């Protein structure tokens, strides 16, 4: 059965940058091997409903037409992934916002704010530049995907089957 828009698909993936560096994967051993392992995360194939915006558009499109057992490598430009960086999402805040909270701002760190997660781009004497763009904005991504199972309705999806495949 080929994947169609609206189907529920169980799949594994490996996400790489153009230089081959792995930035994410559903496969625990690979995550550990490539230094992207997150202890709190559950690894294993993931379910997604195709064509409804649950995953990035380029990956959504790549899965359509695939069959269980099929593997594919797809290159996804920024416009079909996390978009291009938006300069309006880089803002400057007074350094006091950090110091009054007892924090020392450091370039390259990510911080949680009332507006979401931001990367500290620059620390000056009085101002801190925060970037609220997605960390993968502007990047071309390469995904290796393998379709494991295809279901036509949510009622057919057994969440435990994702764990059994580990």
Q: What is the DSSP string of 93-123?
A: EETHHHHTTT----TT-EEEETTEEEEEEEE
CB 155 within 8 A of CB 148: no
According to DSSP, residue 85 is labeled: -
Q: What angle do CA 145, 149, 155 make, to 5 degrees?
A: 130
Q: What is the CATH number of domain 8-82+136-164?
A: 3.10.50.40
Tens digits of residue pLDDT in 122-148: 999 999 999 999 999 999 999 999 999
- State the virtual CA torsion across 64, 141, 134, 83 in degrees, nearest 10: -70
**Rounded to an integer, what distance in angstroms lies between the CA atom of residue 99 and that of residue 17?**
36
Tens digits of residue pLDDT in 92-116: 999 999 988 899 999 999 999 888 9
Task: Name the CA radius of gyration of the chain, rounded.
Answer: 19
- CATH 3.40.50.720, applies to 87-131: no
Cα separations in angstroms, 9 against 12, 21, 76, 122: 10, 26, 19, 42
**Rounded to an integer, what distance in angstroms lies between the CA atom of residue 126 and that of residue 159?**
50
What pTM value is reported for the model? 0.83
Closest C-alpha among 129, 149, 146 to residue 59: 146
Handedness of CA 45, 49, 53, 57 (dihedral sign): positive
Are both 8-82+136-164 and 87-131 of the same fold? no
Is the pLDDT at 38 greater than 70? The verdict is: yes
Domain chopping of the chain, boundaries: 8-82+136-164, 87-131
The strand order across the sheet containing 110-113 reads 90-94, 127-131, 116-123, 110-113
Q: What local confidence, expressed as pLDDT, does residue 154 receive?
A: 78
């Amino acid at each position: 059965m080929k994947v169609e828009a609206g189907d529920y698909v169980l799949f594994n993936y490996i996400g790489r940058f153009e230089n081959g560096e792995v930035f994410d994967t559903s496969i625990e051993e690979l995550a550990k091997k490539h230094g992207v392992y997150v202890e709190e995360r559950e690894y294993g194939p993931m379910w997604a409903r195709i064509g409804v915006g649950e995953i990035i558009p380029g990956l959504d499109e790549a899965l359509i037409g695939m069959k269980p057992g099929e593997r594919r490598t797809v290159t996804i430009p920024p416009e079909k992934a996390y978009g291009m960086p938006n300069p309006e999402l880089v803002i400057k805040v007074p350094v006091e916002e950090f110091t009054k909270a007892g924090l020392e701002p450091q370039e390259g760190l990510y911080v949680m704010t009332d507006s979401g997660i931001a990367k500290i781009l620059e620390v000056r004497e009085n101002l801190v530049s925060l970037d609220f763009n997605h960390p993968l904005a502007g990047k071309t991504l390469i995904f290796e995907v393998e379709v494991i199972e295809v279901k036509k309705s949510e009622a057919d999806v057994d969440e435990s089957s994702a764990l059994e495949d580990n």
